[in-house]
Amino acid sequence: MDTTYWGRVFGVMLFKDNITKENLLKYYVKNEANSIYRKGIEELKSRGYSIKAIVCDGRRGLIQSFENIPVQMCQFHQAAIVRRYITKNPRMPAAIELKEITALMKQTDRESFEGALNEWYDRWKPFLNERTINEKTGRSFYTHKRLRSAYRSLRTNLKWLFTWYDNIELSIPNTTNAIDGHFADLKNKLRNHNGLSTERKRKFIDEFLKA
């Protein structure tokens, strides 16, 4: 499940079945609220669907919203979070190494990834703990705040990055790429129809998702 936007207040939240590739449910939304995702899962249950697992992005509080359902955080979204903190082409050796470890995520298992992350932290802990003093206030702050944030996001989300591995029998995808590709195709099609009113845009999206 994921959401895409056109502008700031018009979005589509989509629930897609990974097995049949069928689009099961959609909502037109102004914002990507966790409550709407929960509503969607409950609506699918009420329709008779059995939810074996959920794959979603790492919105704060979303992953923890579902009891007794395995939840996989999209590894692509996690990599994007790290990239936002350390940039696409980091220069610091510690950041370069963390980027390389993040790239391993999609091709390794939980134990190997966690081991590599732990080794990185042990090696760079003194560097991460370096502090800079503000000459005006006399207060100190972490010198490498963005690098610390990138590491912390990996550490915090680690529990949900390898749900596919912990539940191998369910064949859970490790990303939301199936939905993201769908959204990209939809946006490309709509780009050829610039100027549509919101009502006509909805009709176009309805037909596209049905097809």
pLDDT at 193 over 80: no
pLDDT reported for residue 67: 86
pLDDT at 194 over 90: no
What string of DSSP letters covers 81-92? HHHHHH-SS--S
The contacts of residue 143 (CB under 8 Å, 6+ apart) are 130, 131, 132
Instruction: Give mean pLDDT, residues 191-196.
Output: 78
Reported as a single tens digit per residue, the pLDDT across 42-80 is 999 999 999 999 999 988 899 999 989 999 999 999 999
Reported as a single tens digit per residue, the pLDDT across 14-23 is 999 999 999 9
pLDDT reported for residue 81: 96
Reported as a single tens digit per residue, the pLDDT across 177-187 is 989 988 999 99
Can you list the positions of beta strands (E) in the chain? 2-5, 11-16, 23-29, 54-56, 71-73, 131-133, 140-142
Let me know: does 174 contact 72? Beta carbons within 8 Å: yes
Looking at residue 63, what DSSP letter applies?
G
Residue 162 CB-density burial (10 A; 0-12 exposed, 13-18 middle, 19+ buried): buried
